[in-house]
């Protein structure tokens, strides 16, 4: 699905939730999407026997390509938002990379969202920053073998616990600083999260476009489809296009009605 400037992918963790998870690639294809993306597709870090096969088969049967996949980020329903900075969760995070790499090899997926994690008072901020940088470097090296890119995402403050990355510049500080020698790490530019934090989306898009590896869109407040909130979605997409971004736009919103009824904004961009 495209609007003449961008091609859009459907995030099946939030879209098409009218159906069970493995049926959503088919619904996305029927709605006109050729590409899908997803959060970690399993309940825990280690898929049960056959789960990877069933996931890959669902994509193949629907005829869609997987273009972005989240690393295991802990218990998301319980509020966890990544494990990178957690010294006590490194073995779990690293082990979960094996099924991610298997999926990448079998599907051609090359963009991987790695959530930083929430700070914990049991360790100093410096200890957790060092843990996170080491994890990002190691996992970036693993996906680099496949030509993959790790994405680092700022999240909305107040909704995601003590998550320290809240602006695009927070990520750029890492990319220019401790991760400067790791060339396959980029910013995930999510309009909902950045807009919820008060970032000037148009300015940020123009300033940081060279470091943006992927874009995700939802409106705010509410995280619904574009047009359901107050963010300058159309203006931001215009700015991204004008600045030279030519990657996919991930539809990562919570539809306010049936998913299919919320897709007109792609063909008729929100003013």
Q: Which residues are catalytic?
A: 153, 252
Q: Phi first, then psi: what are they for 262, rounded to 5°? A: -110, 15
Can you tell me the distance from the alpha carbon of 156 to that of 159, in angstroms, rounded to the nearest whole number?
6
Burial 37-71 (b: 16+ CB within 10 A, else e): bbbbbbeebebeeeebeebbebbeebebbbbbbbb
DSSP 8-state secondary structure symbol assigned to residue 261 = G
Q: Report helix, strand or coil for 152.
A: strand
CB atoms within 10 A of CB 105: 12
Q: Phi first, then psi: what are they for 110, rounded to 5°? A: -135, 5
């Amino acid at each position: 699905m495209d609007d003449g400037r961008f091609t859009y992918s459907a995030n099946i963790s939030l879209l098409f939730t009218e159906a069970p998870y493995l049926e959503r690639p088919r619904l996305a294809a029927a709605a006109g999407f050729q590409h899908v993306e997803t959060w970690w597709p399993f309940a825990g870090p280690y898929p049960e026997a056959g789960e990877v096969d069933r996931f890959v088969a669902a994509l193949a049967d629907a005829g869609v390509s997987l273009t972005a996949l989240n690393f295991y980020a802990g218990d998301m329903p319980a509020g966890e938002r990544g494990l990178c900075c957690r010294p006590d969760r490194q073995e779990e995070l690293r082990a979960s990379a094996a099924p991610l790499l298997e999926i990448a090899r079998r599907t051609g997926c090359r963009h991987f969202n790695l959530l930083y994690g929430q700070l914990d008072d049991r360790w100093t901020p410096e200890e957790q920053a060092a843990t996170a940088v080491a994890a990002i470097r190691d996992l970036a090296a693993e996906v680099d073998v496949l030509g993959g890119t790790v994405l680092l995402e700022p999240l909305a403050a107040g909704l995601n616990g003590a998550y320290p990355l809240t602006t695009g510049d927070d990520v750029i500080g890492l990319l220019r600083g401790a991760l400067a020698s790791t060339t396959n790490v980029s910013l995930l530019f999510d309009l909902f999260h950045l807009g919820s934090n008060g970032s000037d989306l148009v300015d940020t898009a123009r300033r940081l476009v060279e470091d943006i590896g992927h874009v995700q869109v939802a409106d705010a407040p509410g995280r619904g489809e574009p047009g359901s909130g107050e963010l300058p979605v159309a203006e931001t997409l215009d700015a991204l296009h004008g600045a030279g971004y030519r990657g996919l736009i991930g539809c990562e919103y919570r539809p306010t009605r049936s998913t299919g009824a919320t897709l007109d904004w792609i063909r008729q961009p929100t003013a």
